[in-house]
Structure 1
Amino acid sequence: MRFPFSRTAPVPAPATAATETGDGGILLETSGLTKSYAGADGELPVLSGIDLTVRAGEIVALLGRSGSGKSTLLRCLAGLLPPSSGTVRYRGTPLTGANPGTALVFQTFALLPWLTVRQNVELGLEARAVPPRQRARAAEQAIDLIGLAGFENAYPKELSGGMRQRVGFARALVVEPDVLMMDEPFSALDVLTAENLRGELMELWDSGQFPTRAVVLVTHNIEEAVLMADRIVVLGSRPYGTIRETVEVGLERPRDRGSAAFDELVDRVYRIMTGRPKDTRPAARPDPERPDPERLDRRTVANTPLPTASVDGLSGLAEMIAHRDGRCDLADLAEELGLDIDDMLPQVDALDLLGFAEIHGDDLLLTEDGTAFAHADVQDSRALFAGAALDVPLVKLIANSLGGAPGTTLRAGFFRDLLAHHYTSEQVDRQLETATDWGRYAGLFGYDAARQEYRLDEAQPGTMPR
């Protein structure tokens, strides 16, 4: 299906590329793509050495955890961010600005609240100088295609979250991009709404009515990637974004989530995502009451980011595994709890980082320390947690920096400045929140939120300093 303006402002095909790219032809390509941001201590790398192709007729999922550079890569493909080195090509020609063959759908709708649905959808056409009558007809077709007929004159405040995201899709599709870019488009929706919209989009794609040649989807949801994509590009983030592995899905559509083949592929991708270099955890565990004075440099801290997992959350998972004889299949446990596997990954990573659990294939196994932690009473669990937490570089850095002298205080800004060389401001907040939660529970240090200060209080006999 083509909209009535039929690319009044057509995308020019470069002389080095075919005017029309059929199924299988390369639309987008990156070579040695690296992206860094300027920091106080030099360049902060986000992506390194990305080689990627996007072909006509396929859906490519960029899958990875927070900090792996998925959204940065998407914006480089869209020409919104220039690469620090390497190249991004659209139809064979290097990008020097915004990519004329792409359109973006964002996680947060990004609608203008003072415009109606039709006016929001027409924005891209207006920017391309499409005449009013033609863009009105094209907008109506896009609105109808995406299931919003009858809401043309409604304002965003009158719409539910799912309907607002439909407007975002219509606005992107009405310009008939070669490649539709989607940055976690379902993550702000409730589960049922997301499932419904995801299913409708796949039906449109399979029907041939989707007015775009390819789709690039950013997601952290493994099942979503397996359900939608033809190819899954798994990004790793230690210490910066690289392609860990590319997985060809190869399942017929529509895909059956209950099939053995679907489960097997989810498990395979899960194993790739949870792969951890063997050297990320220090070999020796110091006495929790005498922090190892060995100097921790900023790169060590940056290369071992903390998962966003509370002590309660990771303790709860450890206890569930202990009740299953110390071993469980994560997919089965997630299904039993009514969760996606992805929802459990931060807790899984936390147990792994602390040395309380190990990943073997599809199973999570408690270690000897993890079993003791899961069965311990409150006081013993804190002591066990303290020993494990001092193997975590950021927690260890905060504890060591306080120097072991009761009454010592340090401003949180000191650690923010150190982390700012390696993380964005939002990531710095999450890292410090997790480190503070873990360190306070372990009794390694206290924290005054009003003063934004870490402190070392007088220790009671036989206890860790609080």
Structure 2
Amino acid sequence: MTNEPIIEVIGVQKSFKKGDRQELLVLDDIHFKMYEGEIVAILGKSGSGKSTLLRIIAGLVKPSGGTVHYRGRPVSGPVRGISMVFQTFALLPWLTVLQNVELGLEALGIEREQRRERALKAIDMIGLDGFESALPKELSGGMRQRVGFARALVVNPDILLMDEPFSALDVLTADNLKSDLIDLWQSKQTGLNAILFVTHSIEEAIAIADRIIIFGSNPGSIRSDLKVTLPFPRSDLDPRFRNQVDRVYTLMTTQPQEEKLQQGFIDIGYRLPEASVAEVTGLLEILNSPEHQGKMDLPDVAETLMLDIDDLFPLTELLEILRFAKVSKGDITITEEGKAFVDADILERKKLFSIHLKKFVPLARYIYDQLIRHPRHRALEENYLSLLEDYLSESEAERVLRTVIEWGRYAELFAYDYNSGVLSLENPH
């Protein structure tokens, strides 16, 4: 390993315009270095800007501020030496496997004979020998993603960037492809000097990477940079592997968003988590069961409910917002209020949920107060959407409003007519 970084990201920021409104900051002040011989994972929740950062490093997206250097030179567009594997297979359906793999070489102006030779070697290396003349529609998802890998590797890249390359695959296929990738990396057949990949799976990051960069969200920023020193092959049954999983959960659950939450600071424009009342109730019932006695390890919760971090964290965040549970150091503990909710009958649960919703979710309280004040106790959802768009992107504003309407309807705080988009009080008082 040389002392010179192969990739250096310096103060990168990225904002997206929100129509005529202010800009939405997606990435803020990202600094990190990556060296030869490393596999680095960028781990974070969906929407934290991980994929945007990867595209900036690849030269596909320009940063709003800061710079990226590849081997000491600034990246201002796609760079020879950096290849990328995307989440979707992105194959041209009318071309055969061989032709799809040859595409990059053709763009580089490589002669036909050499192009064919190199493409066949890459296809063989990635385990697709015998499928050279097949069209993408004849291949399974795993085989199509292997074509994506072959296409990225055939140009002999210095660095391979991967954007959630296994997320569209079933578990067995993904595990197969991961172990083949690690074998290829260790055999040094590919000439690769570094791999940088994005994931929202904690186990995937620990299984593959030497280093894990943990992203916080709103806006995306680096929370932790963690070394993984476990020897290969890594097994998720190894106690050391489980310790690493616990460690990452702990780091991911002590974030500024949660710190703000603990200080009681959430405003009308807060990016509320997408979690349903049924999920909240289900997790509280599991926590409160004699088996767990009010406390569980987050990795155990994820395993019990078969949730990844994109489903688990919104759920635990909502429990914290409503004060039904507390998350600390990778554990979740039910509160007295959470116990009271679980022990109550259906009508009492609705009442308790309504009280906590009005008390701790400013947007729900605001909608309710507005409906109380209106002479006919009615309002169009458009009013609240335009209010939220001062804080959030259009799609996020819609998601947040849809979520809070679902909670409000369960709590019988207000009613909603889907066809007219009208919110109203069921029992004005």
TM-score normalised by the chain length of structure 1: 0.85
1:177 aligns with 2:153: no
Partner of 1:280: 261
User: More deviation in 441-450 or 58-67?
Assistant: 441-450
Partner of 2:332: 364
Aligned equivalent of 2:403, options 428, 431, 434: 434
Uncovered stretches (5+) of structure 2, i.e. residues with no partner? none
Q: How far has the Cα of 1:101 moved from its partner?
A: 2.5
Q: How many pairs align?
A: 423
Partner of 1:5: none
User: More deviation in 264-273 or 200-209?
Assistant: 200-209
Aligned equivalent of 2:341, options 361, 373, 387: 373
Partner of 1:37: 16
1:382 aligns with 2:350: yes
8 Å Cα contact 2:249/2:299 also seen in 1: no
**d(CA) in 2 for partners of 1:422, 1:80:** 27
Aligned equivalent of 2:34, options 44, 54, 63: 54
Q: How far has the Cα of 1:92 moved from its partner?
A: 0.8
Partner of 2:384: 415
Read off the aligned partner of 1:265 and give its amino acid letter: Q
Q: How far has the Cα of 1:378 moved from its partner?
A: 1.1
Cα distance change of structure 1 residues 99 and 438 upon mapping to structure 2, 3 Å threshold: farther
**d(CA) in 2 for partners of 1:372, 1:406:** 36
Partner of 2:281: 315
8 Å Cα contact 1:46/1:240 also seen in 2: yes
Residues 372-407 of structure 1 show CA distances to partners (whole Å, capped at 9, x for unaligned) of 112221111111111222312343343344344474
1:353 aligns with 2:321: yes
Q: What is the root-mean-square deviation of aligned Cα atoms in Å?
A: 2.2
1:103 aligns with 2:83: yes
Cα distance change of structure 1 residues 332 and 280 upon mapping to structure 2, 3 Å threshold: closer
Could you say which structure has the higher helix fraction?
A: 2
Cα distance change of structure 1 residues 338 and 441 upon mapping to structure 2, 3 Å threshold: closer
**d(CA) in 2 for partners of 1:380, 1:445:** 17
Partner of 2:206: 226
Cα distance change of structure 1 residues 254 and 92 upon mapping to structure 2, 3 Å threshold: same
Read off the aligned partner of 1:142 and give its amino acid letter: A
8 Å Cα contact 1:406/1:456 also seen in 2: no
Read off the aligned partner of 2:343 and give its amino acid letter: H
User: Which SS does the other structure have where 2:46 is aligned?
Assistant: coil
Cα distance change of structure 1 residues 369 and 113 upon mapping to structure 2, 3 Å threshold: same
8 Å Cα contact 2:44/2:214 also seen in 1: yes
Cα distance change of structure 1 residues 224 and 411 upon mapping to structure 2, 3 Å threshold: same
Partner of 2:296: 328
Cα distance change of structure 1 residues 202 and 424 upon mapping to structure 2, 3 Å threshold: farther
Partner of 1:450: 419
User: Which SS does the other structure have where 1:402 is aligned?
Assistant: helix
**d(CA) in 1 for partners of 2:349, 2:87:** 39
Q: How far has the Cα of 1:138 moved from its partner?
A: 1.3
User: More deviation in 85-94 or 209-218?
Assistant: 209-218
**d(CA) in 2 for partners of 1:406, 1:89:** 61
Aligned equivalent of 1:205, options 151, 175, 185: 185
**d(CA) in 2 for partners of 1:54, 1:402:** 54
1:64 aligns with 2:44: yes
TM-score normalised by the chain length of structure 2: 0.92
Q: Identity rate of aligned residues, in percent?
A: 48
Uncovered stretches (5+) of structure 1, i.e. residues with no partner? 1-21, 285-295, 462-466
Partner of 1:159: 139
Cα distance change of structure 1 residues 41 and 325 upon mapping to structure 2, 3 Å threshold: same
Residues 262-294 of structure 1 show CA distances to partners (whole Å, capped at 9, x for unaligned) of 11111111111111443325649xxxxxxxxxx
**d(CA) in 2 for partners of 1:126, 1:428:** 44
Aligned equivalent of 1:215, options 195, 205, 212: 195
